[in-house]
Amino acid sequence: MNCKKNEMDLLNKFREDSKVFGTNPRQSRQLNLEVLGLILAVLMNSLNPIQAAEKRPNILFIMADDHTSQTWGCYGSRLAKFADTPNIDRLASEGALLKHCFCVNSICVPSRASILTGQYSHLNGVRTLNDALDPKLDNVAKRMQAAGYQTSLIGKWHLKKAPSGFDYWNIIKGQGRYQQPILFEMNLDKPEVQKGKYCTDVFTDKALNWLGTRQTNKPFFLMLHFKATHEPWQFHPRHAKLYQNIDLPEPETLFSSTGPTNSRVPGWPLEILTERMLGRNDHGDGKLILKTDDPQSIRKATYQKFVKAFLRCGKAIDENIGRVLEYLDENNLANDTVVIYTSDQGYFLGEHNYFDKRFMLEESLRMPFVIRYPREIKAGTVLEDIILNVDFAPTFLDYAGMKTPSSMQGKSARKNLLGNTAPDWRKSMYYRYFENSLARPSHYGIRTHHHKLIYYDGIDSPSEAEKWEFYDLSKDPMETRNMYDKEDNQAIIRGLKLQLHRLQIQLKDSA
Ligand code: CA
What is the per-residue pLDDT across 202-260, written as a single tens digit (0 to 9) for each? Answer: 999 999 999 999 999 999 999 999 999 999 999 999 999 999 999 999 999 999 767 88
Q: Which long-range contacts (CB under 8 A, 24 or more apart) does 329-335 make?
A: 331/211, 333/58, 334/374, 335/374, 335/375
Distance, CA of 230 to chain centre: 12
As a whole number, mean pLDDT of residues 254-279 equals 90
pLDDT score, position 261: 84
User: For 382-413, how does the pLDDT look when each residue is reduced to its tens digit (9 = 90+)?
Assistant: 999 999 999 999 999 999 999 999 999 999 99
Ligand 1 centroid–CA 136 distance in Å is 24
Rounded CA gap, 113 and 157, in Å?
A: 10
Task: Label residue 477 by pLDDT band (50, 70, 90).
Answer: very high
Ligand 1 centroid–CA 357 distance in Å is 8
**Count of all residues that appear for the chain in the document:** 511
CA-nearest of 455, 430, 137, 113 to 121 is 113
What integer best gives the mean pLDDT of the chain?
91
Ligand 1 centroid–CA 416 distance in Å is 26
Rounded CA gap, 472 and 477, in Å?
A: 7
Ligand 1 centroid–CA 368 distance in Å is 12
Ligand 1 centroid–CA 126 distance in Å is 14
Helices 295-330 and 199-213 pack at an angle, to 10 degrees, of: 20
Ligand 1 centroid–CA 231 distance in Å is 9
Ligand 1 centroid–CA 345 distance in Å is 6
Q: Are 188 and 181 in contact (CB under 8 A)?
A: no
Ligand 1 centroid–CA 65 distance in Å is 4
For residue 37, pLDDT over 70 is answered with: no
For residue 12, pLDDT over 90 is answered with: no
Ligand 1 centroid–CA 112 distance in Å is 9
Q: Are 141 and 92 in contact (CB under 8 A)?
A: no
Distance, CA of 497 to chain centre: 27
User: For 192-202, how does the pLDDT look when each residue is reduced to its tens digit (9 = 90+)?
Assistant: 999 999 999 99
Neighbours of 306 (CB within 10 A): 25
Backbone angles phi, psi at 391, to 5 degrees: -85, -15
pLDDT score, position 510: 86
Ligand 1 centroid–CA 68 distance in Å is 9
Ligand 1 centroid–CA 354 distance in Å is 15
User: For 50-93, how does the pLDDT look when each residue is reduced to its tens digit (9 = 90+)?
Assistant: 344 447 999 999 999 999 999 999 999 999 999 999 999 999 99
Query: What is the SS3 assignment for 58?
Result: strand
Ligand 1 centroid–CA 437 distance in Å is 19
Give, for 470, the enclosing helix (H) or strand (E). Answer: strand 468-472
Domains 58-232+309-426 and 430-506 share a fold: no
Ligand 1 centroid–CA 113 distance in Å is 12
Query: What is the SS3 assignment for 10?
Result: helix
Q: Which amino acid is at 366?
A: R
DSSP string spanning 52-83? HHHHS-EEEEEEESS--GGGSGGG--TTHHHH
Rounded CA gap, 470 and 456, in Å?
A: 11
Rounded CA gap, 62 and 49, in Å?
A: 25
Ligand 1 centroid–CA 248 distance in Å is 23
As a whole number, mean pLDDT of residues 159-163 equals 94
Ligand 1 centroid–CA 3 distance in Å is 37
For residue 14, pLDDT over 90 is answered with: no
The CA–CA distances, whole Å, from 377 to 322, 341, 462 equal 20, 15, 52
Ligand 1 centroid–CA 389 distance in Å is 13
Ligand 1 centroid–CA 158 distance in Å is 10
Ligand 1 centroid–CA 115 distance in Å is 13
Ligand 1 centroid–CA 157 distance in Å is 11
Task: Label residue 104 by pLDDT band (50, 70, 90).
Answer: very high
> Phi/psi class of residue 477: alpha, beta or left (left: φ > 0; alpha: ψ in -120 to 50)?
alpha
pLDDT score, position 433: 98
Ligand 1 centroid–CA 510 distance in Å is 26
Half-sphere exposure of 456 (CA within 13 A, CB side): 28
Q: Is the peptide bond before 337 cis (omega within 30 degrees of 0)?
A: no
Rounded CA gap, 309 and 282, in Å?
A: 10
For residue 358, pLDDT over 70 is answered with: yes
pLDDT score, position 258: 72
Neighbours of 486 (CB within 10 A): 13
pTM of the entire structure?
A: 0.90
Q: Are 367 and 68 in contact (CB under 8 A)?
A: no
Q: Which CATH number fits domain 430-506: 1.10.1060, 3.90.350, 3.30.1120, 3.10.450?
A: 3.30.1120
CATH superfamily of 58-232+309-426: Alkaline Phosphatase, subunit A (3.40.720.10)
Rounded CA gap, 6 and 62, in Å?
A: 27
Sequence ranges of the domains in the chain: 5-46, 58-232+309-426, 430-506
Ligand 1 centroid–CA 184 distance in Å is 20
Ligand 1 centroid–CA 232 distance in Å is 12
Ligand 1 centroid–CA 70 distance in Å is 15
